[in-house]
């Protein structure tokens, strides 16, 4: 189980091979990679030239570890990994990686999706986009709140 906050790139194949190496109990590896992209339909047609991700060092690691602990409490994960990058990115650059290992595919899929949904609303990162008109801070999305909300436990 690991959380990494870094500016460097990552390779899903390398991480996945490292985590499964020598194991005989893993049946399912689900992964998600979030990538910077050019178009943002919410904000009109102006293409994104680049984006900068700012974060809150210290709190970011704490929050990602808390999110990971929640996933481990909810599902029988054999291992998982969250890598979130910060810095300046151009369209096509990978930004976030979530990898989950389990015996069974449904567990791996659910935990991977949960981690991404929670991370979107609970990890202290902020996106600034550069377009031809200048730089602007991206507003949070209601759809991300709704996606995180669907994992709330019935009280």
Partner 1 sequence: MKILYFAWLRTEIGLAEESASPPASIKTAGALIDWLAALSPGHAAAFEKRDSIRVAIDQEFAELDSCLSGASEVAFFPPVTGG
Residues that bind a second copy (CB under 8 A): 11-14, 16-17, 20, 22-39, 91-92, 94, 103, 105-106, 108-109, 112-113, 116, 147
Sequence-ordered list of residues with C-beta below 8 angstroms from that of 33, at least 6 positions apart, any chain: 12, 94, 96, 97
| Binding span for partner 1 by CB under 8 A among 18-26, 41-49, 73-81, 138-146 | 138-146
Name which of 35 and 49 has its Cβ closer to partner 1. Answer: 35
Cα–Cα distances in angstroms (integers) from residue 118 to residues 11, 95, 147, in the given order? 22, 16, 8
**Shortest spacing between CB 40 and partner 1, in angstroms:** 12
- Of positions 3, 67, 78, 84, contacts partner 1 by CB under 8 A: 84
Sequence-ordered list of residues with C-beta below 8 angstroms from that of 128, at least 6 positions apart, any chain: 51, 52, 53, 54, 135, 136, 137, 138
- Of positions 46, 69, 141, 143, contacts partner 1 by CB under 8 A: 141
Taking CB within 5 to 8 Å according to partner kind, which of partner 1, a second copy, none is near residue 149? none
What are 71's two structure tokens?
Answer: 């996933």
- Residue 38 CA, chain-centre distance (Å), reads 18
Cα end-to-end distance, the chain, whole Å:
28
Count of residues in contact with partner 1, rule CB under 8 A? 28
Locus of tokens 């369209």: 91
Site of interaction with partner 1 (CB under 8 A): 34, 53-56, 58-59, 62, 84, 95-96, 116, 119-128, 137-141, 144
């Amino acid at each position: 189980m690991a959380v990494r906050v870094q500016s460097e790139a990552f390779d899903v194949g390398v991480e996945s091979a490292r985590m499964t190496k020598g194991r005989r109990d893993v049946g399912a590896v689900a992964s998600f990679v979030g990538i910077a992209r050019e178009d943002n339909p919410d904000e009109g047609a102006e293409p994104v030239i680049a984006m900068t991700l700012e974060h809150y060092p210290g709190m970011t690691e704490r929050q990602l570890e808390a999110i990971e602990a929640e996933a481990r409490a909810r599902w029988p994960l054999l291992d998982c990994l969250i890598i979130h990058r910060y810095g300046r990115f151009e369209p096509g650059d990978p930004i976030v990686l979530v990898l989950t290992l389990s015996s069974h595919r449904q567990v791996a899929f659910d935990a991977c999706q949960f981690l991404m949904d929670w991370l979107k609303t609970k990890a202290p990162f902020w996106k600034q986009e550069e377009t031809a008109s200048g730089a602007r801070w991206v507003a949070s999305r209601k759809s991300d709140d709704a996606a995180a909300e669907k994992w709330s436990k019935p009280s």
